[in-house]
Amino acid sequence: MALHGHDEASIPAPVTLSSRQSSGATHRSFSALGFPMGLWPRRENRVVPLYFPPMAKRTRQKQPPPPPAPSSPPDPAKVVRRTPAAPAEPPARSRPSSLVDTRVVWCGDCLEQLANLPDKCVDLVYIDPPFNSNRNYEVFWGETKEKRAFEDRHASTQAYIEYMRPRCVQLARVLKDTGSFYYHCDWHASHYVKVMLDQILGENSFRNEIIWRRTTAKSQTFHSFPNNHDSLFFYVGGEQHTFHRQFKPHSQARIDQHYSNIEEGTGRRYSLDNLTAEGIRNGRSGLPFRGIDIGAKGNHWKFTVDKLDAMDKEGRIYWPKKAGGMPRLKRYLDEQEGVLVDTVWEDIPPINSQAKESLGYPTQKPIALLDRIVKSSSNPNDIVLDAFCGCGTALVAAQNLSRQWIGIDISPTACRVMAKRLRDVCGMKESEPLWKARRADAFVVRDLPWTIEKLKKLPPFEFENWAVIALGGIPNKTQVGDMGIDGRIYPVGSRPQDEAKGTKNKHGVTGETMFMDDWFPVQVKQTDKVGRPDIDQFEAVMAREDRTRGFFVAFGYSADAQREAAAFYKKTGRIIKLISVQEILDEEHVGKM
């Protein structure tokens, strides 16, 4: 029987943990734990258990030295749980941000970029890394290095964990002891991710699993429950981590149910709460109040009788009309912060195609989700790091909330998308001089592949996107079946015609539709020298689409290709502009447009 795409004969026998790894525990083989063999990683022709190195009690902090022996037995009432000492400086200043470049988008593998950051320099880490599921990879910029790493769906969990482990180790290294770490994932690998994070950050550093209801879509599954949520694993760097409780507004149903009382004269809504608690107290909270001997009932007041007197004078105590009734505390709706946010987040809807913030990216997260995370676990001017930026929602949230930020993504197209978003949404300026002058509204994008050598190493679809965007066009979203068109350029001079005038183009199209029909095709080849056959194929595309002008981008062209493009113009009047990559880099292509 084949397991996850492997024959049984090709799978080495499982190995057991060494005595050092197991810390003297009884040796247990990985197979005995019930994990499928297809999920074991392969290293040097042997199988190593993915999930069972010893759990770290707390991997990020050294235990404080034991206190000196007391001269006398300690008072049991004064014995407290030992926690790490508070940092010498306030949390946000434990490492000056001047040691780290912020408001920077880095283009590249985050493993390489994180290695350049110093230890304990980041206050908040949020990542939403890709996984081999449709929700992550069917994105408008197509294939990336991550996708090629996980093409085997059956082996994807093993590959995913092995891919993420060294990156999470680096993220844990750069996290401050006062910092927080959020890992966003879905059901495909969340259970494996949790174990991996326990091993790296320490199981005692785990705080919450947050459930975000990301969709209300109806499922056609009849034999299981629909998967409609994501998980966010929340870890901290130490006991002194930053955290601010968050509140959400009361729903109208909750207001009607819990704040149904309306105060005469003021019209203020309020709910009623108990003023008593169980147990007898000998202090002032156990004294009689307004003729009520609370101790005789085996209870005590939640407040001292002096405080009760003051509250009663302010009208904050409700006295029932029925004789012998117990007074109750008024809790006014307008004084409440709202409903305390817990670990189930159902109040933040996902982004749909009609949402104003939608970029057409299927896994784009709503800004409200990142706002809540940034507000909860950071302070103004803290450094927020997203190592898998995607379309940059975490960066936008951080910028809007006056935080410093660092973004990393392996996709050049993604980096351009988030740069545009920072300009358009946050009003920032992409400017090296302004950024060097430490302007709060300036940012830079680093390591975009602008050299011939780097462009040749780009994945084909990324290279196509780069070339089309460089010409001012719109890339084709379709990777396969693009009918020989990698992008479209819409002439700047095109204007929608007045449909009422009945103006038509040669295709019989009017109005706005006529404007959209006025475009030029772009063909891109990531080859050193395009030959005549490629030009012949593009000529067929132009004839089929009835286009008068087209653009071809490549690193170079053979003499036959250039002669064919010239002959095609003489024969048909259709123009094929041959543009080299070097011309784009030198900005010499503008004259051909």
Select, from the ranges 475-479, 506-510, 513-517, the one with the highest average predicted confidence (pLDDT).
475-479
DSSP codes, 479-534: SS--TT--EEE--TT-----GGGT---TTS--HHHHHHH--EEEEE--SSSB-HHH
pLDDT value of residue 592? 76
pLDDT band at 94 (very low <50, low <70, confident <90, very high): very low
Q: Residue 199 and residue 164: Cα distance in Å, rounded?
A: 13
Which pLDDT score is estimated for 435? 96
**Residues 545/522, Cβ–Cβ less than 8 Å:** no
The whole-number pLDDT of residue 471 equals 87
User: CA 103, CA 96: separation in Å to the nearest integer?
Assistant: 15
Pairing of strands 549-554, 575-580: parallel
From residue 357, alpha-carbon distances to 12, 101, 360 in Å are: 50, 28, 9
Are 443 and 104 spatial neighbours (Cβ–Cβ below 8 Å)? Answer: yes
CA distance 540 to 537: 5
Confidence band (pLDDT; 50, 70, 90) for 414? Answer: confident
Q: Is the pLDDT of residue 391 over 70?
A: yes
- Among residues of the chain, what percentage have pLDDT more than 90? 56
- Give the mean pLDDT of 559-579: 96
Higher pLDDT, 422 or 508: 422
| pLDDT tens digits, one per residue of 190-205 | 999 999 999 999 999 9
CATH classification for the domain delimited by 452-592, as one of 3.40.1130, 3.30.300, 3.40.1350, 2.20.25: 3.40.1350
So what's the pLDDT on residue 37?
A: 39
What's residue 532's pLDDT? 96
Give the pLDDT band of residue 234 (cuts 50, 70, 90): very high
Question: Cα separation of 329 and 315, whole Å?
Answer: 10
Note the CATH number of domain 101-246+342-446: 3.40.50.150
Question: What pLDDT digit, counting tens, does each position of 139-184 carry?
Answer: 333 444 444 333 333 346 777 888 899 999 999 999 999 999 999 9
Q: What percent of the chain has pLDDT over 70?
A: 72
Residue 529 pLDDT:
94
pTM of the model: 0.62
The pLDDT, as a whole number, for residue 358 is 78
Tell me which of 491 and 178 has the higher pLDDT: 178
- Look at 171 and 67; give whichever has higher pLDDT: 171
Render pLDDT for 279-335 as a digit per residue (tens, 0 to 9). Answer: 999 899 999 999 999 999 999 999 999 999 999 999 999 999 888 789 999 999 999
Say how far apart CA 257 and CA 144 lie, in whole Å.
51
Euclidean distance between CA atoms 509 and 390, whole angstroms: 37
Hey, how many other C-beta atoms are within 10 angstroms of the C-beta on 275?
20
Q: Where are the domains of the chain?
A: 101-246+342-446, 252-338, 452-592
Q: How far apart are CA 348 and CA 187, in angstroms?
A: 19
More confident: 370 or 19: 370
C-alpha 422/C-alpha 431 separation (Å) is 12
**Residue 408 near residue 437, CB atoms below 8 Å:** no
Residues in the chain: 593
Residue 525 has pLDDT above 90, yes or no: yes
Give the pLDDT score at 2.
42
pLDDT digits (tens, 9 = 90+) for 434-462: 999 999 999 999 988 778 998 998 889 88
What is the structure's pLDDT at 49? 39
Where residue 413 falls among pLDDT bands split at 50, 70, 90?
A: confident
Residue 131 has pLDDT above 90, yes or no: no
Q: What is the pLDDT of residue 141?
A: 34
Question: Higher pLDDT residue, 25 or 346?
Answer: 346
* Tokens encoding 416: 């351009």
On average, the pLDDT of the chain sits at 79
Phi, psi of 437, rounded to the nearest 5 degrees: -80, 5
Distance of CA 351 to the CA centre of its chain: 14
Angle, helices 367-377 vs 393-400, to 10°: value is: 50
